[in-house]
Structure 1
């Protein structure tokens, strides 16, 4: 065995080192030293992000089972940034009396799921892909159940486990059909042997259904709102942005690399899935009063927009998808940051509780307003540019009607995002949330998210750089 292959796993080995260090610190650290555990976790993840920020070149290891490419490294860095923002937001939450005893588990399990996402995106074989998928999925059930004395927390964890098991079984059944037709699990070999036979098409459909559960595409979305509501806000934000972004990118890699010869088939399937996902997500979001359920259905509809980059099947589609995920991370985490700090202080999660919030907490209200504007795609915020690029990529491949439907749904989404803004700034009810000052870590995280919302769309070099990496291929 050539041990130089391990040099290709730079990001994975670095992340494993962080996980081991945090595990040892949590296990053997004194009670006094553990007060700095959350800050140490943030510092180690920041160091890991900086050390691996230079993209790796194209290459493969272990006989083609593991692949690297500049664009994959870029996505891993984006996921690192999002996870770091969540870790910073979680500092005050992990100090709460009922959470502090499980503080180490939160950080270690979260990083293990991130490692699984790395393996998914770099896999060149369905066996490694499935191992990465399960590594990214199973610890999330424990994260969802972190606050186990809350009834809705362990109920959400039970629902997530059942759905994860079912979707994994469905995907394995599809992969077995694909293996039966092609005789291999390697992506490149399958692409060379793909023929449009009924058994292969069934395998493709089952694989897409299994991934649909992970991405929460309609009609595989029914778990999303309950799990988002039951989990702690930090775990919900991780599920909403990091887990979804990694799953969509890994899904795109498989469709581009493995099923390119039958692209017309999966593009037709995605066409219908995108329409119902965006539409159902938007219509159900209008009805929500609980803000976590509201953002759950919002994330379902955002998944449909992200899939426009996949259906485009082009370099522009790939780069616009990555850019969309980057913008989505900053926009959604700004919203979840505001929700988290208010929940930790008051326990309130209803939209009606935010009536008149601007009078008592103007800075939090402004951050939430910018997040809603960005998610809705209002110029000149970053969300407008992400939607523009992803619509342009789909239209460039001739999907004009699909883009038109997406644009109509954008108008619908504008209505329900503005409901939050209306509650904070226009309704004159007595605000049920008193004025307070959030902690330094939360202010830092929300400030970074707001800066991203304002700057990412204006600094054009960001998209240009992503596009140049995407042109180098997978």
Structure 2
């Protein structure tokens, strides 16, 4: 029983926080400031607690398993959630439903944890649904805005289609292999046509969740309509969790089909990078811009996954960590400016450096890292992804990805140019950043610098990986 509680520690702590918030909500009224202070402290305890008593093991006849790498992945998601919570301070301090927002948010995180630790397809699907349904609810948390309701509707409809395809694929896998456990499926997969069709359905379901082309059509509209905090969460935490699941599913469960899924990922990665880049160039709304930017980043991650190696697995985890810091640095500034002034267009940021130099530099560093400009951490993240992809010997794919990195420089530097060089007749006024958002931005900048310059981070992640 002690092992059960220790192995399930991260899920149990989240569950306790959710029930604590529910219980306190029923009690006496508290101000939004008090709730935000309490929740951020609880999330900080949750993050720090993830590093204590790390125990690996298998529970429930293999339905749930954990390893040192899985524990690290959950800690990365905990850190990202804490940063997003602190960045949401200005938006939530005047909101009527602060507690409800956090209950739904932590419920999605709990679902992601079960999904990452899943040992069979049924647990994977249940975790996926738990992480998706509350997410559609919080996408509609700007209750007075029609666009927010539209974003929630598009998210729930697209999620329903992707979940349906995923479930259909799971049923076909079970029908052709007679197993739902990952080990049983890996032993029974032999490459028959129906199994390949089932895998295509599964890959399409995952493709919707990570916004890979051509399953990306919901992304920009949902990102634009949802509150910036929810957009941040969708962009980094939700996608990161799906990628943490996709890698072991490909590398272990469907390893016998590696020749088939390599060709599929090759095509998906190329079109995802190209389409993401081309559409990002055309955007003026910052949230739509970051939506297409995130689509292009997924393409680079798929290049790393094609490596089918320990280097591929570790490079994905390393890049997701860097991506959380980089994207949340950009989203943190956009979130604060949006909550304070209501301005979300890239053209609004002309001359931003003159009125808000610190925020301007934070945004610029985040964009540099997303573009992969050395010496930021984003450069090293993309370098290891391309290196993992090159390990397969397909230099055509790596060359296409590298050329698209050059294209992405244009639209990232276009924003930096607007911030530092362009004039604006109505610039964003000087803003005073509260303590929580300021701390979140400092954590992001420190993360961008630390993960890039300290080689131990990548070496540690690589040491936790398993050779496939």
TM, length-normalised to structure 1: 0.96
1:282-315 residue CA offsets vs partner (Å, 9 max, x unmatched): 0000000000000000000111111223211111
Structure 2 residue aligned with 1:190, among 185, 195, 218?
A: 185
1:104 corresponds in structure 2 to 99
| 1:31 and 2:26 correspond | no
1:246 corresponds in structure 2 to 241
2:396 corresponds in structure 1 to 401
The CA RMSD over aligned residues, in Å, is: 1.4
1:183-237 residue CA offsets vs partner (Å, 9 max, x unmatched): 1111100100111111101100000001110010000000000000000000000
Note the C-alpha offset of 1:39.
Answer: 1.3
| 1:351 and 2:343 correspond | no
Structure 2 residue aligned with 1:80, among 44, 61, 78?
A: 78
Note the C-alpha offset of 1:137.
Answer: 0.4
| 1:365 and 2:363 correspond | no
Q: How does 1:65-464 map to 2 (within 5 A)?
A: 65-96=63-94, 99=95, 101-464=96-459
Note the C-alpha offset of 1:71.
Answer: 0.5
- Contact 2:118–2:124 (CA under 8 A) maintained in structure 1: yes
Which blocks of at least 5 consecutive residues in structure 2 are unaligned?
A: none
Give the distance between the partners of 1:160 and 1:299, measured in 2 at CA.
16
1:59 corresponds in structure 2 to 57
Give the distance between the partners of 1:60 and 1:127, measured in 2 at CA.
16
Give the distance between the partners of 2:138 and 2:378, measured in 1 at CA.
29
Secondary structure in structure 1 of the residue aligned to 2:295: helix
Secondary structure in structure 1 of the residue aligned to 2:99: helix
Secondary structure in structure 1 of the residue aligned to 2:213: coil
Pairs aligned (count) = 468
Secondary structure in structure 1 of the residue aligned to 2:319: helix
- Contact 1:331–1:375 (CA under 8 A) maintained in structure 2: yes
Give the distance between the partners of 1:165 and 1:89, measured in 2 at CA.
30
**Residues 1:6 and 1:203: Cα distance change in structure 2 (over 3 Å):** farther
Give the distance between the partners of 1:50 and 1:436, measured in 2 at CA.
31
Give the distance between the partners of 2:82 and 2:433, measured in 1 at CA.
19
Note the C-alpha offset of 1:29.
Answer: 3.5
Note the C-alpha offset of 1:316.
Answer: 0.7
Could you list the runs of 4 or more consecutive aligned residues of structure 1 that deviate by over 6 angstroms after TM superposition?
none
